[in-house]
Structure 1
């Protein structure tokens, strides 16, 4: 019988190098840019259809207005229909698409929660993915993944959130600033409520209390909402030459942070997927409301490059602080949590894992009422 774990570990040792990792990241970036470049082509192909639908919309609005003029008594349905017909078809299609995204993400989130609660096949997939990533761990990847995961952590996310809010407030873009605050705070509240309701144990943890629960991933939700809603504000009313690089950078950053959480063993695969679903649903909901109900006036328009520069400055400053003052300690905590998790894993999963490194010491404390290993830390939870 073929020893799949041994072959996977041998393959990782032979091919998983910094060069191949950077090559895969570059390839993912190129593919993302190419896929996003197809969107303007699709829009151009749909433009004649949208114009034809707009002609029917104008005709329908005129016919309904004439009927209302002949019968002054107007029902609420008639009023609502007229308001809808006053919107352009392109705007209505965007709203429909956002609604579909919202329903799909909401359905995925509820399905994942039910599958996790019932111990469905999703749990077995989570365990296999966790075990395989544990077999691929190397020293240089530990450093790289801890650095990446910090971009979705509390320190950098809070710094970006405060900087963007302050800049929008200074620009007197009151509505955009309030929606930005609602996006960040609302997503965080949803994460805390779901963590408390699900009470799912992390595969490994450096947190205690409520933060020792894993479903959904706070990092995945936070990076999706923070960088995703920032990209929405930057791309609003902008040409595709602005949207494509912004969206590509956002997709690559969000995907990398999710992978880092899986690699470090802080979350199961379904946790990260649920975090992405929650974050995307929140963006679809607030983005649609902002674009539909509060169409930005010229004085509230967001200069994309200036907003991006503010966010980038916040990332650089907070990231420098984290790298200089927190990185070694954080890296050691993640490594010790991983060693403790390996020692505590069931025999079925231990077969997939490599032998623990010499001199590795298990975590000193436990969380989740003794159900998972953990380390005490003063770092902000996520």
Structure 2
């Protein structure tokens, strides 16, 4: 009788075809667009509250200004500077702070759970085992192509192209923030990998890159595409922001799924990479908005910036697909096959080993149990 995992694998392979995969991707994109379309509605609903708070802010600033003029104090002057800012900007700063706190807490919690070998590790193993049932030749090719979008070659190409464009437009402050976003995130990933030293499920890497936690692809894609979307959406209407954010969410999510499918990372690795990347974006984005304010729209030229980034992605991906993809695909398949072969003994019952000299007439190896009879 065929066992349950084999039946599940056959059912998945019969159901999961290129057309259904594209349908699921289109459905996810549509849901993302619908959810993001609710953001302008939420902003419109909150606008009366923001106006009411702004009136109280103006009243408090005027009252505090007269008091500071009579008795100058450092704390009062600092509070006055805060009250002089727009309420909407203050709310955005509070929201970014909440995101930073939540992502930082999630990252430290995941690191602690992994270090203690807690329930998260068992969930990682279940997700890894479940995704192995989805493996097929066409899906291998698709996932390797998607994972390359978050790889080092394309990330470096996009980073250099965007940095060069910003310098050419003399947007020096934005260029420095862009470099800090990419290089700082990379430094954080390397430090965490070295500190956690977690082994990957399967690996085609060596040295420090052989460590798994957090996912470098997840962090890099989140920071590269996420901070690029942040720069492109500044001072833009919602009809521009929604498709840019939707495309970013779909691309970053697809890259994370590809790392899980290829067996290069555990689920907690990808989640930690997303948390680290989003926290880094919130930190740098808040600093840029608060300390420097959005650069003049003409200096960054968001539409042209998007074109520059898209050209860099297409050019780098074309090179990777033409010269590197076949070899990379073979390396991923060999790593997955080696991992599967190393796990084959686990299929045997606990404490059971093949018996020597017995072959069941060549049909199967007999089992000998070292445990006492019950």
Question: Aligned Cα RMSD in Å?
Answer: 1.6
2-side partners of 1:311 and 1:51: how far apart?
37
Corresponding residue of 2:289: 291
Q: Unmatched 5+ residue regions in structure 1?
A: 352-382
Could you report, residue by residue, the CA deviation over 1:202-250 in whole angstroms, capped at 9, with x for unpaired residues? 0000011111000000000000000000000000111101100000000
Runs (4+) of structure 1 exceeding 3 A deviation are 1-4, 346-351
2-side partners of 1:97 and 1:12: how far apart?
41
- Does the alignment pair 1:247 with 2:245? yes
Corresponding residue of 2:219: 221
SS in structure 2 at match of 1:241: helix
Matches within 5 A, 1:80-91: 80-91=78-89
| Contact 1:109 1:274 survives alignment (8 Å) | yes
SS in structure 2 at match of 1:137: coil
Structure having the higher Rg:
2
In structure 1, which of residues 164, 182, 185 is the aligned counterpart of residue 183 of structure 2?
Answer: 185
- Does the alignment pair 1:116 with 2:130? no
SS in structure 1 at match of 2:85: coil
Corresponding residue of 1:380: none
SS in structure 2 at match of 1:345: helix
2-side partners of 1:119 and 1:188: how far apart?
26
| Contact 2:174 2:295 survives alignment (8 Å) | no
| Contact 1:128 1:349 survives alignment (8 Å) | no
1-side partners of 2:186 and 2:266: how far apart?
19
Aligned-residue offset at 1:9: 1.2
In structure 1, which of residues 229, 232, 253 is the aligned counterpart of residue 230 of structure 2?
Answer: 232
Could you report, residue by residue, the CA deviation over 1:238-280 in whole angstroms, capped at 9, with x for unpaired residues? 1101100000000000000000000000000000000000000
SS in structure 2 at match of 1:172: coil
2-side partners of 1:112 and 1:137: how far apart?
27
TM-score (norm 1): 0.89
2-side partners of 1:113 and 1:68: how far apart?
46
- Does the alignment pair 1:58 with 2:58? yes
| Contact 1:108 1:274 survives alignment (8 Å) | yes
Could you report, residue by residue, the CA deviation over 1:68-101 in whole angstroms, capped at 9, with x for unpaired residues? 23x2x32221011101100111000000000000
- Does the alignment pair 1:128 with 2:126? yes
- Does the alignment pair 1:208 with 2:211? no
Corresponding residue of 2:164: 166
Aligned-residue offset at 1:300: 6.5
Aligned-residue offset at 1:66: 1.6
Aligned-residue offset at 1:11: 2.4
Corresponding residue of 2:42: 42
Corresponding residue of 2:256: 258
How many residue pairs get aligned? The number is 349
